[in-house]
Amino acid sequence: MTSKRKRTVGHVTIREVAKAAGASVSTISAVLNKSDYVSTKMRSRIERAIKELKYRPNDLARALRLQKTHSIAIVVPDLSNNFYIELVRGAKDYSASANYTVLIGDSRERWEEERNYLDSFQRRRIDGVVRVPAIDAPSGKVKSVLGNLPVVYADRYPRSRDAYVGRVGVDNHLAANNATRYLLSLGHSRIGIITGGASGGTSIERLEGFLQALRSAGIRPDRSLIHEGHNDVESGHDRTMHLLTRVRRPTAIFCTNNMMALGAFAAIQEIGLSCPEEISLLGFDDFYWAILFRPRLTMVRQPARELGMTAARMLIDHLEGRASIPTPALLATQLIVRDSCCPPKQPQSR
């Protein structure tokens, strides 16, 4: 490399790359943008010149020219929750493989916070959004913030007909139904459930799956055993205390979110009940801490990382004009049976 090249590191232009490679500026641009066929030999020369000169494209100018920033955003409700951490990692991993940058927002389960993130991302000229709505997010409000930016919903989705490119999740009804059937198979008939907010599609589906399993077993659901939480530790603890201080308490509790399961576990310990001998506990959204508890927690596992990767793929396929996988894309769940559930002490009358 010549001394002249060394002096120009950090300020190299595309014309200098073209001169070093013996190619036209348009050919260099075709390689950088992957917009046209370039022979393998010529591509190799250009890539070598780019490396030697340490050329860095001007991303802002490129974005203005192409009307694309090659950046997407993902907004989730709670980055203290391992489920959403893994979902974000999956989205970032796939996006990086497609040369897209990811901006991340944590709404803290508040629509006001989510709206601020979405507005900020829209002003940064992102190309699209992967969105897990806040629990209090109103339907039909996103378009007023994002305009015509494409949106893919992951995990949760709006109950109304909000415009979106696609949706990625699991069959929540089936997953909750199978989990409830497992408790029923152990002999439980008096089962309490702590659900997320009624505005969330996933919470409604999980409750419906739970109720269907009871009815299929010939058990009339007891509405006093159904409590609505807020997908956090505090509400899980509070609702479990209500369930366990009843005159006739349940023999098992099903929490439809991992953070509420943590709160439920804390309440069980606080009251001094033995889990699972006196009260069985089953949660949703498996996480690595579940095996550190004693007893180890039985959980429904969602493929969080794959959900994020699939959502990012669906969005980027749309942005690139490629045919994508059908929507909604429903990935499989697993019931991870550990130690926190066992048959009740006494048979329960039906």
Same domain for 38 and 85, yes or no, is: no
What crossing angle do the helices spanning 40-53 and 25-33 adopt, rounded to 10°? 90
Is 214 part of any domain?
yes
Is 346 part of any domain?
no
Dist. CA 326–CA 308, nearest whole Å: 16
Is 147 part of any domain?
yes
Residue 178 has pLDDT above 70, yes or no: yes
Confidence class for position 226, pLDDT limits 50, 70, 90: very high
Confidence class for position 38, pLDDT limits 50, 70, 90: confident
Same domain for 150 and 297, yes or no, is: no
Is 253 part of any domain?
yes
Check residues 47 and 222 and name the one with the higher pLDDT. 222
The partner residues of 329 in beta bridges, in order of sequence, read: 168
pLDDT of residue 2: 42
pLDDT of residue 35: 61
3-state secondary structure of 74: strand
| CB burial of residue 160 (10 Å; 0-12, 13-18, 19+) | exposed
Residue 267 has pLDDT above 90, yes or no: yes
Mean pLDDT, residues 14-19 taken together:
84
Dist. CA 90–CA 287, nearest whole Å: 15
| CB burial of residue 113 (10 Å; 0-12, 13-18, 19+) | middle
Is 347 part of any domain?
no
Same domain for 159 and 209, yes or no, is: no
* Domain membership of residue 182 as a residue range: 172-303
Confidence class for position 63, pLDDT limits 50, 70, 90: low
Q: 247: domain CATH number?
A: 3.40.50.2300
Dist. CA 168–CA 326, nearest whole Å: 10
Tokens 């045919």, residue located:
323
pLDDT of residue 200: 66
Same domain for 311 and 249, yes or no, is: no
What's the total number of domains in the chain? Answer: 3
Q: 48: domain CATH number?
A: 1.10.260.40
Same domain for 210 and 133, yes or no, is: no
Residue 9 has pLDDT above 50, yes or no: no
Q: In Å, how far are 76, 83, 105, 133, 328 from 313, measured between CA atoms?
A: 17, 19, 19, 19, 13
What is the value of pTM for the model shown?
A: 0.79
Confidence class for position 62, pLDDT limits 50, 70, 90: low
pLDDT of residue 4: 43
Same domain for 251 and 135, yes or no, is: no
Mean pLDDT, residues 81-86 taken together:
95
Contact 129, 149 (CB under 8 A): yes
Tokens 């439809």, residue located:
256
